[in-house]
Structure 1
């Protein structure tokens, strides 16, 4: 990774001067300090300055010695990086949103220099998404606003005000229509670039935790922390099918935390806060699969379907689920059986497939990024470089580049596995 951030440079200075630091920990007699002596006990047990300084120095030395597989990075956020999106036409351009209340536009090949800084949100930017043609970028914030930016010059086109915090955004697969999920239980649909409100969908009773257009763009599927899943008519803003926890076969304790729709648009898979996974036929709202393949009480954090055209795809689809139990399950919905179970060290935070490929990338709390083959469950590559949990991932369409955002305030670029290209 080229270039050093100020923190890394400071750590390098400490490392080079470590002998001088050690000399400062020696008493006037020239002997090393004895932890049993009263003066040291006073420092440690009193204000803790000695112990605190030593812990800070050790942490910085650990950062220097940590393994780093990244080939590039972006360090301007300084706060957690919650969202990442790669431009669909120019894959060199990345949009990232973070806890600094900003979205940054930067280059995969030259991460040290921002292309643009998109300001105006007053709380964390937790969602970013490019329109299908790449001409517009949407950024969603905890401030209850979604902002639309023109990618030709990164100027602000329009502000969309929601009723509450924005929880997710999704563009129509073929047009400039945007869905925005909201913490107040509603979904809003907008016509852009003017920002006309087309419909408001009301049917959930709590936060809409996840949602999206179906792959053909003809319907909308959403899920909520109230445990309900709804398939909507976009034009009528009315439910086509709805299933709730009142159906004992579907009940997901604690509400729905993750959801995805198969490429055919016929089945939705939802995961719950207590670890359950359910497959639902979207045509009639019937539960067609129930899986208790994660530890009870551990939430499902990520669900993603094997993309259309990928090897290993069955008629109903193959879906991958990841949870806070550190378990990843590859489920074949044609046979309704778990094909592979993968266990990693720490909770899974995010999961994304490469386009038209059986390879998927996982981010986790143990700071690592891993690439797996959904056909076999094989670990293809393990990548390190972050010092805090991975919160977001974006994968280039050809799998050659993987970008990860972390709680450490950085976004790192890694080379994808050659077998995944």
Structure 2
């Protein structure tokens, strides 16, 4: 490219030519406007159509805004629901609290300014986004953080230090953390990774207050061939079920409780149930993304692409055998073995399966489809209700009755106005509101539904909706929530980097 030349003064001949193009008398002439023409208005708009107004609504009673990027995950302390942890795209976790009975918090219809809540601790150390958070069971002694950097970090939850007690990095990225509910295995949890591996850890403390502790690997499994997307423990905490993007479903026996009762996979490994797309009846093209286990532990439900749902029978282990197996395993807790479990297409054992019937372990009990896109979230109601709620990327929420051949009791097609439903969760029966389902979505709204029905929202049972996040595709959806105050409060994780506290009782 040739070098540019300096600009020189125009020659006199050119100036004369320009003068000839416009007469000096014409320079001040004004062109009159046609009276029939409208005044200037925005391009590509109808002058008779009013301009859209942006409606801002904030139903929260408080907020936490210390994050600098999207909040991807939120966790609630198991014994003190007022303490929550949030983690996000700023590679940071905050531990903070709220008091739903505090007089400093306004009601949702109050004109008082919503207070900004202060953090108890700012936890750093990850080099990529925080993708998973959980407190350990049963006492919440440790806060676990998992990141897209593959790190798992355990922090003591007692003040004033909230110190890091142990860390490990065995995988490229962590997708989820799932605490084990078994009382015999405190501070034990599972994680699923982007490489498909599943790990079971325990935190072994050598000091009374837990300040000196170590992450120990109890089991590691490598059967999934694609990203492990979700997991669920059986209610007794003896078995762990996982699903992955490759469409596989496995049930593991981390503590040997099933093996102690003669329930083993056909391969002889620790996989009690193995289902893969090689079984055409189970195959879900596009993978599996959600899982839930019935309150009885009799069966698992997995959700995947295209709105597909499969129901699989599980063994229900006897209390006596399970206790014996737990005692044996507890004595060898520090072994830290890494076992590669094998598994066939389908496997089962002699123990009782779904609803007490023999021979249903590992069997596909039901297969159905009621939604048009991936099933991202599943939740069971507590007895005596027999409902399963499924939330989909298509924005719908569907209620199935598993006591009546999985009949569709309600299909709320516009539960989140066409934006993905991210999480559904029933309130516990102890709150007296076991019939209430809470949902959130990428529209930025939290909603509550009465699953018994009602006349509101066209008979869909809508109790109310709470707004405050941007939503509507503007990077402000609700990516998760926890519920506290006996169901009177919901706290969100916002894609707009804000966590909001909603007074649901109002």
Give the TM-score normalised by structure 1.
0.80
Q: Which structure 2 residues correspond to residues 264-343 of structure 1 after superposition, within 5 A?
A: 264-283=296-315, 284-295=361-372, 298-307=373-382, 309=383, 312-314=384-386, 318-336=387-405, 337-343=407-413
Contact 2:293 2:301 in 1 (8 A): yes
Equivalent residue number for residue 234 of structure 1: 254
The DSSP-based 3-state class of the residue aligned with 1:321 is: strand
Match of 1:220 among 213, 232, 240: 240
Match of 1:167 among 175, 178, 199: 175
Tell me by how many angstroms 1:131 deviates.
1.4
Tell me by how many angstroms 1:247 deviates.
1.7
Contact 2:240 2:252 in 1 (8 A): yes
The DSSP-based 3-state class of the residue aligned with 1:195 is: strand
Per-residue Cα deviation, 1:395-421 (whole angstroms, up to 9, x for no partner): 116101101111111000001236xxx
CA distance in structure 2 between the aligned counterparts of 1:413 and 1:78, rounded to whole angstroms? 18
CA distance in structure 1 between the aligned counterparts of 2:40 and 2:168, rounded to whole angstroms? 63
Equivalent residue number for residue 243 of structure 1: 275
Equivalent residue number for residue 144 of structure 2: 138
Per-residue Cα deviation, 1:188-236 (whole angstroms, up to 9, x for no partner): 1111041011110121111110012211011110001110111111035
CA distance in structure 1 between the aligned counterparts of 2:131 and 2:379, rounded to whole angstroms? 19
CA RMSD of aligned residues (A): 2.2
The DSSP-based 3-state class of the residue aligned with 2:307 is: coil
Equivalent residue number for residue 500 of structure 2: 412
Between Structure 1 and Structure 2, which shows a larger proportion of strand residues? 1
1:195 aligns with 2:243: no
Contact 1:354 1:396 in 2 (8 A): no
CA distance in structure 1 between the aligned counterparts of 2:123 and 2:189, rounded to whole angstroms? 19
Tell me by how many angstroms 1:358 deviates.
2.6
The DSSP-based 3-state class of the residue aligned with 2:370 is: coil
The DSSP-based 3-state class of the residue aligned with 1:104 is: strand
Equivalent residue number for residue 92 of structure 1: 82
Per-residue Cα deviation, 1:296-327 (whole angstroms, up to 9, x for no partner): xx1111111113x4xx423xxx2110101121
Equivalent residue number for residue 421 of structure 2: 348
Tell me by how many angstroms 1:256 deviates.
0.1
Contact 1:172 1:178 in 2 (8 A): yes
Contact 1:352 1:395 in 2 (8 A): no
The DSSP-based 3-state class of the residue aligned with 1:274 is: helix
1:79 aligns with 2:154: no
CA distance in structure 2 between the aligned counterparts of 1:152 and 1:279, rounded to whole angstroms? 41
Contact 1:381 1:417 in 2 (8 A): no
1:209 aligns with 2:209: no
The DSSP-based 3-state class of the residue aligned with 1:168 is: strand
CA distance in structure 2 between the aligned counterparts of 1:158 and 1:397, rounded to whole angstroms? 32
Per-residue Cα deviation, 1:328-384 (whole angstroms, up to 9, x for no partner): 111111212111111221221122222232322111121111011233351111110
Tell me by how many angstroms 1:111 deviates.
4.4
1:255 aligns with 2:287: yes
The DSSP-based 3-state class of the residue aligned with 2:306 is: coil
Unaligned runs of 5+ in 2: 1-37, 45-50, 100-114, 204-212, 257-268, 316-360, 454-459, 471-475
Contact 1:256 1:271 in 2 (8 A): yes
Contact 2:98 2:117 in 1 (8 A): no
CA distance in structure 2 between the aligned counterparts of 1:400 and 1:259, rounded to whole angstroms? 27
Contact 1:138 1:147 in 2 (8 A): yes
Unaligned runs of 5+ in 1: 1-31, 45-57
Match of 1:382 among 429, 453, 465: 465
Change (3 A) 1:224 1:397: farther
Equivalent residue number for residue 129 of structure 2: 124
Q: Which structure 2 residues correspond to residues 14-163 of structure 1 after superposition, within 5 A?
A: 34=40, 62=54, 65-109=55-99, 111-132=116-137, 133-153=139-159, 154-163=162-171
Contact 1:75 1:410 in 2 (8 A): yes
Give the TM-score normalised by structure 2.
0.67
Contact 2:238 2:255 in 1 (8 A): no
CA distance in structure 2 between the aligned counterparts of 1:252 and 1:413, rounded to whole angstroms? 38
- The alignment of Structure 1 onto Structure 2 pairs a total of residues equal to 357
Tell me by how many angstroms 1:78 deviates.
2.3
Equivalent residue number for residue 450 of structure 2: 373
Larger radius of gyration: 2
CA distance in structure 1 between the aligned counterparts of 2:378 and 2:140, rounded to whole angstroms? 25
CA distance in structure 1 between the aligned counterparts of 2:84 and 2:198, rounded to whole angstroms? 26
